[in-house]
Every structure is written in C-alpha cells, then in structure tokens.
Amino acid sequence: MDCSYFDAGACRSCTHMGMPYGEQLAGKQLHCQGLLSAHTELEWLPPVASRESGFRNKAKMVIGGTAQNPTIGILDADGHGVDLRRCGICSPGLLACFPVLANFIRRIRLTPYDVPRRTGELKHVIITESPDGEVMLRLVLRSEQVVPRIRKHLPELLAALPQVKVVSVNLHPEHKAVLEGDREILLTGRETLAMRVNDVTLHLRPQSFFQTNSEMAAALYRQGREWVNELAPASVWDLYCGVGGFALHCAAPSRNVTGIETSTEAIVSARLSSREAGLEGMAFQAGDATAFALAAEESPDLVIVNPPRRGIGKDLCGWLEASDVQHVVYSSCNAQSLARDLAALPSFTARRARVLDMFPQTTHYEVMVLLERAA
C-alpha cells in the first residue's frame, strides 16, 4: 500500500507504510515467535492476513483549522490541523462521511478547538462503521454550548448521510491529551450500532470498545470458538469481555458462560445481544476481572482473557495458578506482556498460537494462545 500523506511526511502513524505486506506479516510472526520461544511445545498455526487498505472500521479524527476551513485528521507538532480525510486505511464507508462532515461543520459554524490557544468547541469526531455499512457518529465537544445548534441541524446531516444511525455528543471540557470525556449525550433515538460478526450480532454503545478491524475480529472470535468447542467445557469465564464477543461466540447448550468487564455500557450491550439471540446460560457482570476471580468461590473449566496492553498481571496469574481451571484462551494485543504473563503461569503449557494481523501497516498485531494445565 502507498500513502501520499506518509510520503509527504504529513502523517507517520503507519510505521510500516510502503513495506510489502508479505514482509510485514512474516515479520510479525517472527517477532511473536521470538518472544514466545521459551514455549518449545507450542504449535504455530498459519498467521491470518488482513486486507492491506480500507480495513479500519473506526476513525478517531482531530478537528483543526477553522469553522470555514476545517481539517479532519491529526495535529502537527505545533498543534495545527493536518487534513487526512483520504486516509487509505479507513474503510470506504468512513471516507464517504468525511467531506459531508466538513460541510456540516462549515454550515453550522462549529469552531474547531484550537489546542495552542485553548479556544473553540469541536475537538474530535469519532466514527464507527458496522459490517453492514451503518455508522455511529460521536462529536467530542468542550462544552454543551453548541449542542442546541447541532440538534437543530442534525436532520440535515442525517439526510445527507442516511447510513448514520447513532449520533452522540461527548463532553470533554478539560485541556488534556485524551480522546474523550466521561459524559455522553445521545442525539438519536437509537442507542446502539449493531455489529454483525459471524453469526453473532453485537451491540456497540458510544463509549464501548470494539476491535478496529471487523474482518480480523470475526477471525479472532471464530478461532476462540473453535478451541472452546473442541474442549467442550461446561463452564467458561470471559474476562475483559467488552461487549461480549468471545462469550457470545462460545455459547452452547448445557454450557454456562460468564462475562466480566469494567465498562457498564459494554455489559448493557452484551446482555442485550444475549437476550436478542435467545441464549441460555449466559451471565454478564460489570466489574474488575481480577477482583471477580479472587472473590469467586468456584473456578470454571476454561477462562478466556482478552486484556488491554498491560496484560493480566501477577494477581490474576497467581489466581489461575492456584485454581482448578484446566484451559486458558489468551488473546493479546501485546506479545511482550503476554510473554511475561505466560512466564508467571508455570502450571500451564502453551499448546497452540496464532498471529492475526489486526493492524496492517504498523508493528502491532493480535496473537491468541491456547494454554493447558500440565499433567
């Protein structure tokens, strides 16, 4: 894949841009194998390749420039807007939204937030596209000042972008280098974006996490389901479950599945998906994964973990070591913390692993490992 923004030095976020894709994928496989080289019994399944371009289902774009000439992209070193509205890793559906949003900003005079001067209102737009082409739009504002104006003109935007089904405003009043604030104001009657992944429909609320590559997310959940169904556990915990991707894929008759996630919004979504699918034996609870495990009176047959980049940590590793859990499916976006966690689980043997290229054009990837308690 070639990128004019990268070639011009305007954006260097995709550090592997221009490198042949086969080399990228092979390099990620070698990197992961090197980090997990201590696990000599590990069977490496073939890596799962992604599309090179147009794969990203979510765009988190900084709004810069002026109300009359807004930029949609990133900020340069001086805090000025750099327009990236033709970014090649974004899905075609996302790219189609950017010029319409620029016109909307111009038409209703939404002043972009000026970081150096700390003035203006509109900080970011966050857009997510479902596999079916529906879109969730979030406008990150400094205050509620322009919300009435947005409400007034929202029908015009929805007429221009009928694929947009969920719109919200996120309030981020502080001058901090973070994407969004805590408070969300829904502007549409519909609250969730339906994400159809394989044969499961997940519901994404505005502040819920979902993988940014829908095709790789589907492959990730299929692999997890395959391993779980092969082992046929009677009870499964999905820790760090998000909106329930792994848990809902692993539902089966006579199997109890429990999902744990800190985000209350994500748990509401997971419960909705479970109810709609008519699944039995499913339970979702908001809370800390480690605290839940430490307080539990019994342990399940199998545990799925899909932690943030820091990994699951020594306390949860210690609980797994002392538990009766027989198998662990570990999905990691950071093979370095994965290697550290596996070293803290000497009672388990890493049996299988697979790299999935969730993030082409970068050094990042997802890796799944199946662990079995040693005899």
Cβ atoms within 10 Å, residue 99: 13
CB 21 within 8 A of CB 328: no
Point out the catalytic residue in the list 87, 241, 317, 333: 333
Q: Enumerate residues 6+ apart whose C-beta is below 8 A from 365.
A: 28, 32, 333, 335, 355, 356, 357, 358, 359
Q: Enumerate residues 6+ apart whose C-beta is below 8 A from 304.
A: 224, 228, 236, 237, 238, 239, 241, 246, 247, 250, 328, 329, 330, 331
The helix/strand/coil state of 281 is coil
Residue 62: in which H helix or E strand, if any?
A: strand 58-65
Is 333 annotated as catalytic? yes
Distance CA(67)–CA(114), nearest Å, equals 11
Q: Which residues are catalytic?
A: 333
